[in-house]
């Protein structure tokens, strides 16, 4: 993994999200990145929950921000692997979420939003 400071990456990531700056969030991702999330399956009609490329990822996150105008994340912890980073955070409803990010060089090539199994936070993530 070429992210030399995982905590700095997580701060940059959360600052971009909390300012609702999608360009800054997407700057962390390769153009051909994929992102999967059970929330995407709920939010986007006919979606299998896998978004392919920045255009699809942007459309999903734009819709999410439209539906959740008070979206705010607080990083709880950061876990680093060889080519992976996991950001454990609380969302605006207090629910715990993990973002699993796989890197190729310094850009994310694959991301996965994961939610507590109860589904409570997932439903809140997509509620308008």
List pLDDT tens digits, range 102-128. 999 989 999 999 998 765 444 445 433
CA atoms within 13 A on the CB side of 123: 4
List pLDDT tens digits, range 58-93. 999 999 999 999 999 999 999 999 999 999 999 999
Edge-to-edge order in the sheet of strand 107-115 = 50-52, 29-36, 107-115, 96-104, 84-90, 74-80
pLDDT of residue 101: 98
The domains of the chain are located at: 6-126
Q: Provide the CATH topology of domain 6-126.
A: Nuclear Transport Factor 2; Chain: A, (3.10.450)
Which comes out higher in pLDDT, residue 126 or 49? 49
As a whole number of angstroms, the distance between CA 31 and CA 56 comes to 10
């Amino acid at each position: 993994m070429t992210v030399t400071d995982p905590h700095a990456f997580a701060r940059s990531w959360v600052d971009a999200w909390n300012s609702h700056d999608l360009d800054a969030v997407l700057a962390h991702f390769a153009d051909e990145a994929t992102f999967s999330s059970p929330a995407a399956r709920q939010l986007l009609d006919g979606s299998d929950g896998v978004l392919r490329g920045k255009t699809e990822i942007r459309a999903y996150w734009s819709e999410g921000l439209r539906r959740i105008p008070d979206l705010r994340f607080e990083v709880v912890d950061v876990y680093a692997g060889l080519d992976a980073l996991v950001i454990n955070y609380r969302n605006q409803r207090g629910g715990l979420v993990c973002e699993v990010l796989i890197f190729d060089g310094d850009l994310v090539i694959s991301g996965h939003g994961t939610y507590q199994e109860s589904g409570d936070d997932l439903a809140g993530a997509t509620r308008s």
